[in-house]
A and B are shown apart, each in its own frame.
Chain A
Amino acid sequence: MKTPIFEVKNLSYSYAGGIPALNNINLRVMRGESVALVGANGSGKSTLLRLLDGLVFPSEGEIDSAGMPLTEKALQNAAYSREFRSRVGLVFQDADVQLFSPTVWEEVLFGPLQLGVPRSEAAYRATEALELLGISHLKDRPPFRLSGGEKKKVSIASVISFSPRVLLLDEPTNGLDPHSQGVLIDFLISWVADGNTLIFSTQELDLVEELSSRIIVLGMEHTIVADGRPEDFLSNADFLLKTNLIHEHAHRHKSLVHRHQHAHEHQHAADEQGHGI
């Protein structure tokens, strides 16, 4: 069997002061998978993505990435660190923390240059990333003074620009207008089809259906309560209610209309996947 991209074994994590964030997590992600992480606020999605990106390290348990243990020690090795960072990219939930350069252009160049991509190649990739997200015109603007959605796009571009093979996205469509969401989703679908790996967290169940081949649900106890094909869970209203993924009230008023759409799209997505894979 092939080595998994990530292998997480008995992982628990608590923040300073003993605040639990993840509890006994086991999971394995293979190359080419598109995994949706869902769960209520505070269930631990962002924390899990940080752990997978080697930014924080498990309180208990371990993570292997491509067969190598992902530890603080291992990442102190410059060669390994560069290899891992080039391979895995994380887009943070809060775009503000991810933007720290004086201009958008330098922001998008930061990753490739730090990771040793030659300048001309880096500039090419940065230009491409900006074009893909339709923000070339923002190139010389300071990232601090952009709209929320623009910031999000810049932060996505700044990760795409170093062409990681594994993308970790923390609520990527948050704050994007419908058109931009569509563009991003199209990109991600084709990107995964090229054999890359995607793990993203989201609150939007539509996105799960459109984009993922697998769903992992984190519960309020910070454990994995479900792991499987999206269609097996998303039709189960009781389950969704129980894991706080939908609200009865909204469900009755808004989602009734939605439900039709869901069923419809669901069919659609399934068809597409059938073709794609």
Chain B
Amino acid sequence: MHIPDGYLSPVTDGVMLAAAAPFWVIAFNRVRRTLSRRTVPVLGLFAAFSFVTMMFNVPLPGGTTAHAVGGILLAIVLGPWEAVIGISVVLGIQALFFGDGGVLAYGANCFNMAIVLPLAGYFVYKLVSAGSGPMSPRRVAGAFAGGYLGINAAAMFTSFELGLQPLLFHTSQGVPLYAPYGMATALPAIMVGHLLVAGPLEGLVTGTVVFYLQRSGSTLVRSGEIAKGEGRRWILWGGLAALALAAPLGLLASGTAWGEWGNQQLKALGLGFVPAGLQKLQGWWHAPLPGYGLPRIGAATGYVLSAFIGAGAVAVAVWLVGKAMVGKDKTSHPPSQKVEYSSRSKEGFLSKNIELLSRALESGMMADDRSHDGGFLQSLDPRVKVAGFILFIIAAGLMRNLALLGVLFTVALWLAYVSRISILFFLRRVLFFIPLFTAVIAIPSLFTTPGIPIWHIGQHLSVTSAGVQSAVFLFARVTDSLSLGVLLIMATPWTDLLVSLRWYRLPSLVVSVVGMTYRYIFLFLHTANNMFLARRSRTIERFSGEANRRWMGQAMAAALTKSQVMSEEIYLAMLSRGYSGEIVAVDELRAGRRDILCLAGAAALTAIILWVNYR
């Protein structure tokens, strides 16, 4: 669900950032008000948990991936606003270190996963578990439902944002400049995977962890009584939040020339266009509710609902087929059936890969080794670097000229060269995942983008010139933004980066949570890894699917509790050595004349590129 840079136009990025901002302000103020000595380490720990959870990508048919976020668990255990901060932190680390989610698209990704996801999920959780005691099974049910619906709400926003791109941003010839697939493709492609895989996964993670935290008598669930009236209060808040969430979408939709895509009624509403196939469904959906006087809202709602209904139908079909094939399997619930299937292979997958994972993580984060080698970028003030690179990334986002994207990439390569970063290593880091992935994603758009056919394959398929252009655009833009981000990280020690973020007025609470999260990610992986090893050493035979599933839930909760204890220890260890919430940079921050010159150079280059671009 992470949107890389290059998929969304910078305008969309800006709008989403603006939409996320008020939530951040609320979250920050709320959390600061209830801040205790334990908030920072616990928040950091859960953020690390969420980080690790997100690394288990499940490939989906159609070239996308889905994964659980763990964010609803954060919301349940720590509180919704704490979750907003925690996941925002995680997304920041992912964007910076792995190019998982773009730097410019940070606002959009946060909006979807750090705001919609925990708030919607928490709302559902409160609804289901209102008035229940801390040990009530209703809490587990609520956690499952919250997880399932929360992540689907987030996925829906993601598909809206992506689906809007080709409508809003294309060249005069109609070549999409950013994500190439319209709503009709984006929505089902993303939603089906989330309704069927990621949703149940998130629900399962949330539900089982809450269940085992209850069982182990962890203080994490024992605290926080849910009062009876609270459910109702949350309905109010949820309603307001839903309105707030809808607003930016309306903003995006209004004033654009996309009437041709939808029907007239919808255009009047200023919201949504309906793919032809769904228009039929819409009529179908109207039928049972003629007397309710909701035809107008019905159109938009029907649009959303039909996606759910369609996906639900697919789920039932999958379940039926699965049942026919397995025969005597007695599980009854479609979502859990699906998950059982995936979790059976999951344990082997997990235990094998957790080791690999921690290694990959380290190579991603241990750029610190290389960032000390004296080269051009390494010698610059980190604040200057942050500003310069963000300028470049924005430029990459705005460009409508392939040659200029090439120029920018050359600049990145040159910077790597003068900073004594091995070009080969650099390219491997940059191209490793996201651009290749993007290439796969872009292939169908070669055929589907309307335009002049330039190459025929068989009788029905033809590659259009617009299709090629759009695919190349996406690939080049993604590669450019990503290589700039990777370069910044490779040439800047982690602590310096944090300090410069602090200098750019990021609240110190957030900076310390970022710092703690970064530290705890390793702790968490370490704990998980050890638990797998310990288990392997104590068992000889393979477990049944049932036992495995049980163990997974237990292990997750235990790893969390264990890491919680450890996280507090680490915090004490930091206090003991003088930590007071502010991080001190390893290298002194001192922007000299050279730094200023370099920043001016970067600004000038950006200006020239943009001038050529818009000329």
Cα-based distance from A162 to B577 in the complex (angstroms): 8
Cα-based distance from A102 to B365 in the complex (angstroms): 8
Cα-based distance from A109 to B576 in the complex (angstroms): 14
Cβ of A96: which chain B residues have Cβ within 8 Å of it? 523, 526, 566
CB <8 Å contact, B578 and A162: yes
Cβ of A113: which chain B residues have Cβ within 8 Å of it? 584-586
CB <8 Å contact, A102 and B366: yes
CB <8 Å contact, A82 and B566: no
Question: A226 → chain B, closest Cβ, in Å?
Answer: 28
Within 8 A of A (CB), among B215-259: 219
Cβ of B518: which chain A residues have Cβ within 8 Å of it? 102
CB <8 Å contact, A97 and B586: no
**B550-586 interface bits toward A, Cβ cutoff 8 Å, 1 = contact, 0 = none:** 0000000000000000100110111111111000111
Question: A154 → chain B, closest Cβ, in Å?
Answer: 12
Residue of B whose beta carbon sits closest to that of A75: B575
The secondary-structure label for the interface of chain A is helix
CB <8 Å contact, A144 and B522: yes
Query: Is B519 an interface position by the 8 A CB rule?
Result: yes
CB <8 Å contact, B578 and A100: no
Within 8 A of A (CB), among B577-600: 577-580, 584-588
- Residue of A56, A89, A106, A142 touching B577 (CB-CB under 8 A): A89
Residue total for A at the interface (Cβ-Cβ under 8 A): 38
CB <8 Å contact, B569 and A92: yes
Cβ of B586: which chain A residues have Cβ within 8 Å of it? 106, 109, 113
Cα-based distance from A115 to B574 in the complex (angstroms): 11
Question: B491 → chain A, closest Cβ, in Å?
Answer: 14
Cα-based distance from A56 to B569 in the complex (angstroms): 11
CB <8 Å contact, A114 and B579: yes
Query: Is A159 an interface position by the 8 A CB rule?
Result: yes
Say yes or no: A142-B362 contact (C-beta < 8 A), given A85-B576, A109-B586.
Answer: yes
- Residue of A53, A86, A103 touching B369 (CB-CB under 8 A): A103
CB <8 Å contact, B588 and A82: no
Highest count of chain B CB atoms <10 Å: which of A86, A90, A162: A90
Residue of B whose beta carbon sits closest to that of A140: B369
CB <8 Å contact, B576 and A97: no
Say yes or no: A106-B495 contact (C-beta < 8 A), given A81-B580, A114-B580, A115-B578.
Answer: yes
Query: Is B372 an interface position by the 8 A CB rule?
Result: yes
**B502-519 interface bits toward A, Cβ cutoff 8 Å, 1 = contact, 0 = none:** 000000000000000011
Query: Is B494 an interface position by the 8 A CB rule?
Result: yes
Cβ of A56: which chain B residues have Cβ within 8 Å of it? 572
CB <8 Å contact, B372 and A140: yes
CB <8 Å contact, A90 and B576: yes
- Residue of B566, B576, B588 touching A55 (CB-CB under 8 A): B576
Cβ of B577: which chain A residues have Cβ within 8 Å of it? 85, 89, 110-111, 114-115, 158-159, 162
Cα-based distance from A56 to B572 in the complex (angstroms): 9
Cβ of B369: which chain A residues have Cβ within 8 Å of it? 103, 140
Within 8 A of B (CB), among A142-167: 142, 144-145, 158-159, 162
- Residue of A16, A97, A159 touching B570 (CB-CB under 8 A): A97
CB <8 Å contact, A102 and B368: yes
Cβ of B574: which chain A residues have Cβ within 8 Å of it? 100, 110
Residue of A whose beta carbon sits closest to that of B575: A55
Cα-based distance from A97 to B574 in the complex (angstroms): 9
Cα-based distance from A102 to B526 in the complex (angstroms): 14
Query: Is B146 an interface position by the 8 A CB rule?
Result: no
Query: Is B493 an interface position by the 8 A CB rule?
Result: yes
Query: Is A227 an interface position by the 8 A CB rule?
Result: no
Query: Is A60 an interface position by the 8 A CB rule?
Result: no
Residue of A whose beta carbon sits closest to that of B584: A113
Cα-based distance from A92 to B578 in the complex (angstroms): 15
Residue of B whose beta carbon sits closest to that of A88: B576
**A119-151 interface bits toward B, Cβ cutoff 8 Å, 1 = contact, 0 = none:** 100000000000000000000101011000000
**A168-180 interface bits toward B, Cβ cutoff 8 Å, 1 = contact, 0 = none:** 0000000000000
Residue of B whose beta carbon sits closest to that of A78: B580
Within 8 A of B (CB), among A13-37: 16
CB <8 Å contact, B495 and A100: no
Residue of A whose beta carbon sits closest to that of B520: A100
Cβ of B578: which chain A residues have Cβ within 8 Å of it? 81-82, 85-86, 111, 114-116, 162
Query: Is A50 an interface position by the 8 A CB rule?
Result: yes
Highest count of chain A CB atoms <10 Å: which of B365, B372, B519, B573: B573
CB <8 Å contact, A97 and B566: yes
Cβ of A55: which chain B residues have Cβ within 8 Å of it? 572, 575-576
Cβ of A212: which chain B residues have Cβ within 8 Å of it? none
Cβ of B493: which chain A residues have Cβ within 8 Å of it? 102, 106
Question: B519 → chain A, closest Cβ, in Å?
Answer: 4
Residue of B whose beta carbon sits closest to that of A114: B578
Residue of A whose beta carbon sits closest to that of B574: A100
Question: A81 → chain B, closest Cβ, in Å?
Answer: 7
Q: Would you give 22 A-B contacts (Cβ < 8 Å), ordered by A?
A: A82-B578, A85-B577, A90-B576, A96-B566, A97-B566, A97-B569, A97-B572, A100-B570, A102-B366, A102-B518, A105-B372, A106-B368, A106-B495, A109-B586, A110-B574, A110-B579, A114-B577, A114-B580, A115-B577, A140-B372, A144-B362, A158-B577
20 more contacts with CB within 8 A, not counting A85-B577, A114-B579, are A16-B219, A85-B578, A86-B578, A89-B577, A90-B576, A92-B569, A96-B523, A96-B566, A97-B566, A97-B569, A97-B573, A100-B573, A102-B494, A110-B579, A114-B584, A115-B577, A119-B587, A140-B372, A159-B577, A162-B578
Nearest first, the 4 closest Cβ-Cβ pairs linking A and B are A114-B578, A97-B569, A111-B577, A115-B578
